[in-house]
Amino acid sequence: MLFVLFRAGPTRYALAASSVVEVVPLVRLEPLPGAPASVRGLFSYRGTPVPAVDVSVLTGAGPAPDRMSTRIVIVSWAEDDGTARLAGLIATSVTETVDRSADDPPPSGLALPSAPWIASAFIVGGEVVPCVRVEAFLPAEVRALVDQSAGGRA
């Protein structure tokens, strides 16, 4: 099973490749007035306006620095009513993937009440990497924004 690794602040996170649509360079963003602080703006992904969410802001580590390795991870998830949603996560050090085969030790299950978006964690190179669930990771207001933009597309 393939995971895409990224950093938010000092911490390294993993994201299941199944929920990643594509990784694109950091493009110019259209600022969205009135949006939450974590939403840096809108950008066009293959003709579709998609909100870009700064995960560093979401995890409380401040805005992500503008580096070459800072990229946008296009993620998708299915809402409860079965409709598919798209969003862009701005993250740093999006340069590596890790493949966890069935032979590797299974990820330890985690159930944190304060961070329900962390599903599990595993060790990469001696570093503990929390695995993120996309649909729980995004706050409701951001998801509502995504819903609206998706509704506009539908």
Partner 1 sequence: MSDRFAHLPIAHRLLMASVAFGIPIAALVSLGFLEVHSRLAATRAEKEGIRLARPLGELAERLARYRRLADRGGGDPGGRDDAATQVDAAFESLRDPAVRAASANLGLADAGGADPVDRLRAVWQQQRAGAALGDADRLRRARRALGEEIAALIRRTVDASDLVLDPALDSYHLVEAIFLWLPAVETRLGDACDGLERAPGAFVPAAARPRLAFEADELARIDHPRVLAAIATSLREDARFFGESPSLQANLPPLRDRYDAAVRAFIETARRAADSGAERTGSAGNPDGRTDTAAVASSAEAALSAAADLRKASIVEFDELLAVRETYHSRQRLIVLSLTLLALAISARHVAFIVLGVSRPLQTVADAAHLVATGDVAGARRRAASSPVALESDRNEIARLGGAVREMAEGLNTLLLEVKAAGAQVTGTAARIAATARELEATASEQAASTQEVSATSREIHRRSEGLAGTIGEVGSVVKGASDLAADGRRGLDRMEESMAQLTAATSSVSERLAAISGKAEGIGAIVTTISRVAEQTNLLSFNAAIEAEKAGEAGKGFAVVAREIQRLADRAASAAVDIGEVVGSMRSVVSAGVMEMDRFVDQVRREGDEVRRIGGQVGTIIERVEALTPRFAEIKEGAEAQAGSAREISEAVSQLSAAAGQTRDTLEEWSRVAQGLDGAAQTLVAQVARFRLAEDDPGPRASGG
Contact residues toward partner 1 (CB under 8 A) are: 1-2, 4, 17-18, 20, 22-25, 68, 71, 94-95, 97, 99
The nearest distance, CB 25 to partner 1, in angstroms, is: 7
The nearest distance, CB 153 to partner 1, in angstroms, is: 22
Residue number with CB closer to partner 1 (17 or 110): 17
The nearest distance, CB 83 to partner 1, in angstroms, is: 20
Residue number with CB closer to partner 1 (70 or 149): 70
Q: Identify the burial level of 56 via C-beta atoms within 10 angstroms of its C-beta, where 0-12 means exposed, 13-18 middle and 19 or more buried.
A: buried
Which residues, 6 or more positions from 36, have their beta carbon under 8 angstroms from its beta carbon? 139, 141, 142, 145
Residue number with CB closer to partner 1 (22 or 79): 22
The nearest distance, CB 19 to partner 1, in angstroms, is: 10
Residue number with CB closer to partner 1 (15 or 57): 15
